[in-house]
Structure formats: C-alpha cells, structure tokens
Amino acid sequence: MVALSTGGRGGEGLDARIALQRGAVRLDISLTAAPGQVIGVLGPNGGGKTTSVLALAGVLPIVDGHIRVGGDLWDDGRRRLAPEQRAVGLMLADSLLFPHLRALDNIAYGPRSRGVDRRRARARAREELDRVGLADRATARPGELSSGQQARVALARALATDPALLLLDEPLSALDPDTRARTRSDLAARLTAYDGVTVLVTHDPLDALTLADHLVFVEDGRVTQTGTPAEVLREPRSAYVGTVVGLNLYAAQGDSHGHVHTGDGGLLVTTAPTEGSVWATIAPSAVSLHRHEPEGSARNTWSLQIASLTLQGQSARVGLVGELPLTAEVTLESVTALGLQVGQQVWAAVKATEVHTYPR
C-alpha cells in the first residue's frame, strides 16, 4: 500500500484506503486530500482507476481498509453506507441528462432526489446554472445544447446536491478537441470555487496537469507514483508515467564517469552523473534527427529506424527503434527536409547535457 498525503486537514476531507478484488485486479490504494483539493487519478486501462471511483461512490464494497469523508465513516469493509446515503456528486463522460427535461430541471433533479422541495431545488439549480455560465439556457432541453454545454449542465447537476466528494470519471473524453479545451477551462473555474474534495479520473495528461493539485498513478491495482504535477513532470518513476508526461524514460545503472547503461543494453552519456540504480530521461524535443552520422558536440548518437510518425499541430513525434528505443519531436519543416517516413533509417543525436538522471 502507498499512501498519498496532499496536506489534508484530518477528517475534514477524504481519507481512504481502498482494498478489493475485481476480476483479475487486486486493488489496494490510499487517497488523502483536504477540502478544496483535486486529485487526478491516471493509469492504463484495467489498472483500477474506475474501480476506485465505484468504491468511493458505494457501488462496490471494499473488503479491507476504510473510506472517510468529512469525518464520517462511509465504509470499513464490514459496514457501509449505500450510494444514496453518501454525499457524492458524479459526472461521467456521457452527461446522462434526461432528454425530456429542460436544463434547469435536469439540475434540480439532484436536490429533488434527496428530498428538497421543488421551489428550493429549482432555486439551487438556477444558482449552479449561473456558476457554469448557462443562466440563459435554463429552458433548453439537452438536444438544444452543444456537447460542451451538456457537460457543464452535468457538472452543475453533480454539484447542486452540495456533495462532500465530487467524482469525475473521464468527464471530457466525449468532447471534440476545441470543445474540450473550452469546457476544461470552465471546469477549472468552477472547481476553484468548490470547497469539497474532487477525484478526477482521466487518460488525458492535459486534463490532469491543468485541473489537479496532486496526481496519483495507479497501475495493476497499486500506486506507482504520486506528486504535484511539477514533481511528476520533473521525475517520472514508471514507463507509463514517462509516456503520460511525454519523456523518454529508462531504468538504468549509472557510474561516476557519466555513463548510463539501460536495461536493454543501451548506453547514454550525461554531464550530471548519478551512481547506482537510476531513472534516465530525455525530452523528445532534445533529440535531433539526421540523414547521416552527425558531426559536432553531441555525445549520444545512434542509428535507428522510424517505427511511427505522428503529426501534432506544427510538430511531429517520431518513434524510433533499435539500439535505444527513443521518441523525437521535430518540426514539420524537418519532416519535409529529411523526407522522414516509417521504415527509414536515420541518425538520432542527443547532447550529454540533455540526459538527466535521478535515483530509482
């Protein structure tokens, strides 16, 4: 078990150890957060992210551990509150709005389902609509709203019950890129004013890095790394985390001379050596590509084959295989000038100053 400490204020926020078996995955993780904080939970498919959300919501019982929110015990493996007894707000990729209800009544449904009278529920719904910038769309039905507006209504509905814990499971994944960017900004603004704990499950690094105060990586039912976005970007500690933050990451052995030997037989040279078991990172933007063996100051050069070529705006990510698996990020001009294509043999070069190491 690995505990995450995000500076929580005891029982006022979230204090949970979630241990259960679901299918082939044995989940055992701990989460702690103070009111007002956003925890971003990331990991590969089947690693246990959604299982954690379902346990927090009360859909799945834990077999060991505990879930406390706001000082109240929700589950201890023996006694547990039913989902409807928990102060939880839930937002999924599918907004799941009632198509026959107007936006205002979709939001009011939450408070109404918890026993609030119609007048007060609608007043609360108007307040949340205003907070997500949709006061003028109160009478619109879901079919008359854009996908981004539907997502904001779903968020308003989740918050209209004044939950102590807000669970966001891939809330932006169904949106197109432009709508996603705008909705992400709206979501960030609303979460800033929310004084409960938010648990955000996402595959999107940008969602996690821009919305979360603290990141938790869950792989094969275990926490493999935690930290602030800045800490994780600086020092990823698993292959999956390295992929998420966009760095080339290698488990290696370093010596005092600046030689770094990777597990698959590759060799790197660095100007800032770390001895012993290390992680070594190279930013894709630090990799230069050449048709012929380069001359100059770069102390790391390899002849590699292009395995993939992916365009991203005005740049391209080039996946390379050979002596050292490597990803390079180059401009579109470089792609054209070098005539880069899958299957081509190229030279890759990295300066020793661009190879960073830290203890494993």
pLDDT at 7: 35
Structural domain contains residue 279: yes
Q: Is residue 79 part of a domain?
A: yes
Asked if the structure places residue 2 within a domain, the reply is no
Q: CA 190, CA 187: separation in Å to the nearest integer?
A: 5
Would residue 272 count as lying in a domain? Answer: yes
> To which residue do tokens 């004044």 refer?
162
Q: How far is CA 10 from CA 34, 55, 72, 129, 197, in A?
A: 8, 21, 11, 32, 13
The predicted-structure confidence for 166-202, as pLDDT tens digits, reads as follows 999 999 988 888 888 889 998 999 999 999 999 999 9
* Beta-ladder partners of 39: 199, 214
HSE toward the beta carbon, residue 92, CA cutoff 13 A = 8
Same domain, 196 and 296: no
d(CA 252, CA 242): 14
CB atoms within 10 A of CB 170: 19
Q: Same domain for 210 and 257?
A: no
List of the chain residues with pLDDT < 50: 1-11
Among 199, 216, 236, the domain boundary falls at 236
Same domain membership, residue 313 and residue 271:
yes
- Provide the 8-state DSSP code for 29: E
H helices within 160-217, ranges in order? Answer: 177-192, 205-211
Question: Could you say which of 214, 236, 258 is where a domain stops?
Answer: 236
Whether 277 and 144 share a structural domain: no
CATH of the domain at 143: 3.40.50.300
Residue-wise pLDDT tens digits, 59-94: 999 999 999 999 999 999 899 999 999 999 999 888
> Do 36 and 81 share a structural domain?
yes
Q: Where is the domain boundary, 171, 205, 236?
A: 236
Residues 81 and 136 in one domain: yes
Domain count, the chain: 2
Would you state the pLDDT for residue 30?
A: 95
φ/ψ of 255, rounded to 5, equals: -125, 175
Distance CA 288, CA 282 (A): 12
Give the range of the structural domain holding residue 224, as residue numbers without chain letter.
10-236
Please tell me whether residues 221 and 281 are part of one structural domain. Answer: no
Query: Quick one: 200 and 259 in the same domain?
Result: no
Determine, yes or no, domain membership for 262: yes
Residue 47 near residue 221 (C-beta atoms within 8 A): yes
What is the separation, in whole angstroms, between the first and last Cα of the chain? 18
Residues 23 and 171 in one domain: yes
Is residue 4 in some structural domain? Answer: no
Output the six-digit token pair for 208: 């996690």
Q: Which residues contact 54 (CB under 8 A, 6 or more apart)?
A: 60
Residue 241, in any domain of the structure: no
Are 213 and 274 contained in the same domain? no
Dist. CA 198–CA 76, nearest whole Å: 21
Within this chain, do residues 269 and 341 fall inside the same structural domain, yes or no?
Answer: yes
Q: Which of 291, 276, 272 is nearest to 354 (CA)?
A: 272
Q: Are residues 329 and 225 in the same domain?
A: no
CATH of residue 311: 2.40.50.100
Domain-embedded: residue 274: yes
